[in-house]
Amino acid sequence: MVQELLDKIGSLTIVQAAELVKAMEDKFGISAAAPVAVAQVAAPAAGGAPAGEEKTEFNVVLEGFSGDKKVDAIKKVREITNLPLMDAKKLVEGGSGVLKEGVSKEEAEKIKKEIEALGGKIALK
């Protein structure tokens, strides 16, 4: 049964996975943010990049959207993520989710600039 659940969860789109997390947080009164923060702190100690080494791959994360250019933002998110229109719309309206993973610093900065110009708040992780 656990493996079946994992297989089903693995087939979700990013937007569907975000909705699942939100629903679980609401239903069970938990927060997925705390374990993620702990994992991010523990990862470097467990053999991550040395302190002086610069990060070369970034995840571009939409952390919010508050602008009057929602249609343009949805189009840009579709272009970046290759998501279907409805999924891109849910991502922008939900205001959070990963737009692109494992991209170069230059590409991450370009995406950040484009989305922020449309009213989005972006974090590079």
pLDDT tens-digit profile of 44-62?
544 455 555 678 889 988 8
pLDDT at residue 38, rounded to an integer: 42
Q: Which span out of 24-33, 44-53, 89-98, 111-120 was modeled with the highest average pLDDT? A: 111-120
pLDDT at residue 10, rounded to an integer: 79
Please tell me the distance from the alpha carbon of residue 24 to that of residue 4, in angstroms, as a whole number: 18
Domains of the chain with bracketed CATH = 1-45 (no CATH), 55-125 (3.30.1390.10)
Reduce the DSSP state of residue 105 to 3 states and report it. helix
Q: For 58-95, write each residue's pLDDT tens digit.
A: 998 888 888 788 898 889 989 988 888 888 888 888 87
Per the prediction, the chain carries an average pLDDT of 79
Q: Which residues pair with 97 in a beta bridge?
A: 62
> CB neighbours of 76 closer than 8 A, spacing ≥ 6?
114, 115, 118
